[in-house]
Each structure stands twice: as structure tokens, then as C-alpha cells.
Chains A and B, each alone.
Chain A
Amino acid sequence: METHENEPLNQENGPPVFKSWNQLYAFVLILHAVIILLFYLFTQAYA
């Protein structure tokens, strides 16, 4: 199998809605943190 590690990537599209991939990554991680916080509040509310 041939490999071409030094070839540039094919032209890459940006993500939909967000301006950059970094913004989308941040969105996923912040959303996850919010979900965990909500789970924590849920746990506390019914403990």
C-alpha cells in the first residue's frame, strides 16, 4: 500500500453554521460540559 504522508490534504470545507472547525469543537465540548452540569443538578434535585 502506498502512503503519501507529506501530501497536502484535499481542499477541506469548513463546517456548516460555524465559522471554523475550532468553533465547532468548542461548541461540542461546552455543550457536553452543560449536559454534565444538568445531569449533576438532576442528581442533586432528586437525591
Chain B
Amino acid sequence: MHTLDWIVMLGTLLTIVAYGVWKTRSVKSVQSYLLGDRDLPWWTIGLSIMATQASAITFLSTPGQAYEDGMRFAQFYFGLPVAMVFLAVFVLPIYYRLKVYTAYEYLEGRFDLKTRTMAAILFLVQRGLAAGITIYAPAIILSSILNWPLTPTTLFIGVVVIFYTVMGGTKAVSVTQKQQMIVILTGMFIAAIILVLKLPTDVSFSDAVGVAGKMGKLNVVDFNFDLSNRYTFWSGMLGGVFLFLSYFGTDQSQVQRYLSGKSLAESRLGLLFNGILKVPMQFLILFVGILVFVFFQFNHPPVHFNAANVDKLKGTAYEQQYNDYSDQYAQLNDQKEAEIRQMIQAMRQDDDASLQSAQNRYETISQQEEEVRDNVKGIILEQNPGAKTEDTDYVFITFVTTYLPIGLVGLLLAVIFSAAMSSTASELNALATTTVIDLYRRSFASNKSDHHYLQMSKFFTILWGGIALLFALIANLFDNLIEAVNIIGSLFYGVILGIFMVAFFMKKIRGNAVFIAAIIGELIVLVIFVLDKYEVISIAYLWLNLIGCILVMILSQLFSLGSNRDEEIV
């Protein structure tokens, strides 16, 4: 990497961290440390909410997903604005009225201590796992592409985040997230512009979009109802609403963001700001992936995007085979480019017959390309049976490091590190808050001084940071990182949301009924997930959110009826 890129990347990251630490140097009480004095304006809350959700995985994985699978992933976010409105109307006023530190605190007043503790533990388990992936994901990809050693890269992300989160608490998280989000949006916007500028001179932007459409990449909305299809309008609007209600309404890493608002109105505006901007932002990120796809139609892509896998073939018996496949792939690319130019000509002349025949030839060549790519994956696996051959997460970063001008590479790397740090910081902050407020102070050490809880909050931030780092250092790469995080979330969110829905809307139900319902509901969700994994049934993971939530609500009602009858008999 060029020296200028190092200066831009480290300069951007360290300036943001230094600013965050300096701005929060006066944090001296546990309230200030965990709730940030409740003085943040709506735009800081909104950007902080967006930065918490958008991890590095979002910026590495999403363009790759669009490259491979088109834009249908946008539908995953369709339920988000609905969830934001719901939370602003029904949930925020309750949290504000109760002046809670954590979402789970509310459950004790409404039900009992065991239900609060169970919800807090479910959160700690799933968020603790996700925090590891949030650090690991960018580290493994950056180390593979840039030949950086994995462990120091992981430690760099983790240690910097732990440092400023411990120093300034929740306020440092929000202050740095605002700057990080500005860097992220600017970087992605510049990447999109560069991609358009890098199109061949005889190919216009409109041609590029037309080509992507003909390749089936612009499939943003699909109204077909199919339970086994991961991304449709219906899975996004139904499963997605439940996922986002749970994530934004009950996941402390998000609740803590908007509880630090200056007033109820500011927090509401922060949520709605996210509701308005999130879907267009995801569209932009996916569209960057589409532009990368078009770019690689006119510039030879590597036959396999994970450079670390390819490096391991060098000097082995497979090297010559790899080189042959690579040459074959380049020749197919040339043929494909010629067909694309034919398609563009046909589109310009409205010549449907020529367009169709060029498209058919293109598809035939694409199939041959896919066979070559599969063969390369085959020799990678033969040489290293433990290798992960899924390479979509490496597509965007390959473009960044290979084709962006000096300086911008550093900026885009700063985007990815910023995203990793912003979401990890929220996670560590929330994990520490929940541990201190819902477990330590509530059940183990209830009458200590403010200073003691402040020190323990810092201690638990370091502890959770250490656990996340440990998990990151020993974790294996999932096939697709963004899906891995969402799948882990979907296993727990539905049940947590169900507990809160019962709390908010089913006023007659008591603690015992919802506690048993939540345990059974979680077991059923896990069984469904395992059955799907072993292909006994087929159900997309987003539906687990809805199933978990509905199960807890129905079972709570049933157990409540049962316990009422028992009470009547007694």
C-alpha cells in the first residue's frame, strides 16, 4: 500500500478517535458514561443509529452480494421504516417515561426479575457472538487482500475500539460515530462516482445500467410469496418488520443510542431519520456493487477474488493448473465483453432480435466462466481442504485496492475500519451496560457508590472487548458474513421481541407465563433452524423473527389461561 494511503487511512481513523476521546474527557459519572448525559440532538442520534447497524460487513459484503445476486437484498430493509414509526409511537414513550438505562430494566417492572435477567442474557449471548464477527469480518478480508497479518489487524480494530469506548463511554461512541458515518457516506459516494468515470468511453452510464438489467442484476422488488426465498417483498415487510422491531426496540446496542437523546422528540426524530435514509443508503451500496459488476465486464476480474487462496497455490503442483484456468477465464471475458458491446448496440437501436441472440451467447459464456471458477475452487480445496472458497465478500475490496487512485484507497479502507469500529463500539458499550445494570448492580452488588459502578462499567467494556477479540481470533469465515450476523440475530430476536410485545400489549399476562413461553419459543426456533439447516424443511431465516415473536405471544396467552384456571381452582 502506498505511503499516502497509510497517511489518509491512519490520519482519518486516529483523528476521529482523538476527537472522540477529547470531547468526552469530562465523563465522570455512571449516568454520563452509560447514557451520555442525555443531551444528544436528533441528527447525532440518527447517524449513530445508522453507524451502529452498518458494520464493515455491510460495506464489504453488500456490494459483493449485488455483484453475485443482484439488488434483491434491498428488500431485507423494507420493514425498517415501518418498525421505526412503530417504535417512535409505542415504545419510545415508555422507555422515556420509565427513565431506564436498558430495555430489559422495563421488563422487571412489568413482569419480574427472572424475565428481565433472561432477556438480558439472551441479548448478551447473541450480541457477544455478533461482536466477534463484527471485528473478525473486516480483519480476515483486509488481511487476505492486503497481505496484512490477520492477528495484528484484528487486534488493531479491537484495541482502538476498546480504548475509546472505555475512555468516553456511550458519548464517545456517539461522537465518533457521527464523524465515522460522514467518512463512510463520503467514501461510498466517491467510489460510485469513480466507478462511473471508469466505464469505457464508448459506454454511457445508461448503457451500464441497461447491461446490468439484462444480466438480471436490477431485481430490486419481487412480489412473489415464497417462504423459502430469502429476499422478497413479503419476507422483508413481514419478517423484516419483526427483525427490526426487535433489533431497534430491544437490542441494547440500539436502544442505548436513542436513550441518550436530549428529549423524547429528539430521539423520535433520530429514529425517523434512520427510517427515511436507511433504505436509500442500502440501495446506494448495492448499486455500487452493480457498478463493480459492470466495471468487471470491461476489465478482467481475477478468476478467484480471495487472493490469499490463490497465493497458497503458488509453488505447488496446482500453480500451472491455476494459470491455465486464469488464461481461459480471461479469454472468456474477452468474448463476453464483445457480446456486451453487441447488446449495447442492439439496445441503442431497439433491435430486440440482436439483443436476444447476444444475450443468449453471453449467458452461454457466463456458464462456461462459472465452470472455470468452480474448477479453480476445486483445486483450491484439493490443495487446502479447509479453505473457504466463497469469494463474494472480496469483490469490492479487490476493486478498491486494485483500481482506485492513490489516496482514495486509504480513504476507502478508512471507511471499512470506521464501519467496523462504529458498530463494535456500540456493541461493547451495550454489552457492558447490560452486564452492569441488569446483572451486576441488580443481582450481585446493589448498594455500591457511583464511582464503583463507573469503574465496573469500564471493566466490563474491557472484558467484553476481550471476549469479542478472542472470538474474532478463533472464528472461522462464514459463507457470507452479513448473512451470518443476521442469522445469529434472527435466532434470538423473535423471542426477545415476543417478550416485549407481551409486555406492551397483553397487559393481563404475568411473568411466569411469559418466562416459560420464551424458553419454549426459543427452543422451537432453534429446532426449526436446525431442521432447515439439514434440509428437512425449507424456511428462510427472516421468518424466524416472526415465528419466535408469535410463539411467545400465543404460548404466553395459553399459559396465562392455564395459570388463571389453577388460581381459580385453588
Question: What residues of chain A have their CB less than 8 Å away from a CB belonging to chain B?
Answer: 1, 3-5, 7, 9-10, 12-16, 21, 24-25, 28-29, 31-32, 35-36, 39-40, 42-43, 45-47
In whole Å, how far is B272's beta carbon from the nearest beta carbon of chain A?
Answer: 5
Let me know if B369 is at the binding interface, CB within 8 A.
no
Q: Are A32 and B275 in contact (CB under 8 A)?
A: yes
Q: Are B100 and A1 in contact (CB under 8 A)?
A: yes
Q: Are A28 and B275 in contact (CB under 8 A)?
A: yes
Q: Are B97 and A4 in contact (CB under 8 A)?
A: yes
Residues of B within 8 A of A43 (CB): 218-222
In whole Å, how far is B47's beta carbon from the nearest beta carbon of chain A?
Answer: 17
Q: Are B442 and A1 in contact (CB under 8 A)?
A: yes
Q: Which residue of A lies closest to B209 (CB)?
A: A46
Give complex CA distance A14, B89 in Å.
13
Query: With contacts A32-B78, A43-B219, A47-B219 known, what are 19 further pairs, Cβ within 8 A?
Result: A1-B100, A1-B105, A1-B108, A1-B442, A3-B99, A4-B99, A9-B96, A9-B97, A9-B264, A12-B264, A15-B268, A15-B269, A16-B269, A28-B84, A32-B279, A35-B280, A40-B221, A43-B222, A47-B213
Residues of A within 8 A of B269 (CB): 15-16
Q: Which of B85, B97, B219 contacts A29 (CB 8 A)?
A: B85
Q: Are B276 and A36 in contact (CB under 8 A)?
A: no
Question: What residues of chain B have their CB less than 8 Å away from a CB belonging to chain A?
Answer: 74, 78, 81-82, 84-85, 88-89, 93-94, 96-101, 105-106, 108-109, 209-210, 212-214, 218-223, 233, 263-265, 268-269, 272, 275-276, 279-280, 283, 437, 442
The A/B interface has a contact count, at CB < 8 Å, of 90
Tell me the dominant secondary structure on chain B's binding face. Answer: helix
Can you spell out 29 A-B residue pairs with CB atoms less than 8 angstroms apart?
A: A1-B105, A1-B437, A3-B105, A4-B98, A4-B99, A9-B264, A10-B96, A12-B264, A12-B265, A13-B265, A15-B269, A21-B89, A24-B272, A25-B89, A25-B272, A28-B85, A28-B272, A28-B275, A28-B276, A29-B85, A32-B78, A36-B78, A39-B220, A39-B221, A39-B283, A42-B218, A46-B212, A46-B213, A46-B214
Q: Are B81 and A28 in contact (CB under 8 A)?
A: yes
Q: Are B209 and A10 in contact (CB under 8 A)?
A: no
Residues of A within 8 A of B82 (CB): 29, 32
Q: 8 smallest A-B Cβ distances: which pairs?
A: A46-B213, A39-B220, A32-B81, A3-B109, A13-B265, A46-B218, A40-B221, A3-B98
Residues of B within 8 A of A15 (CB): 265, 268-269
Residues of A within 8 A of B93 (CB): 9
Q: Which residue of A lies closest to B283 (CB)?
A: A39
Residues of B within 8 A of A24 (CB): 272
Residues of A within 8 A of B96 (CB): 9-10
Give complex CA distance A35, B93 in Å.
28
Give complex CA distance A35, B233 in Å.
13
In whole Å, how far is A44's beta carbon from the nearest beta carbon of chain B?
Answer: 9
Say whether, besides A25-B88, A32-B81, A45-B213, A5 and B98 are in contact (CB < 8 Å). yes
Q: Are B210 and A35 in contact (CB under 8 A)?
A: no
Give complex CA distance A31, B84 in Å.
13
Give complex CA distance A7, B98 in Å.
8
Give complex CA distance A8, B203 in Å.
62
Residues of A within 8 A of B275 (CB): 28, 32
Q: Which of A4, A5, A14, A36 contacts B221 (CB 8 A)?
A: A36
Residues of A within 8 A of B220 (CB): 39-40, 42-43
Residues of B within 8 A of A46 (CB): 209-210, 212-214, 218
Give complex CA distance A31, B409 in Å.
35
Q: Are A10 and B264 in contact (CB under 8 A)?
A: yes
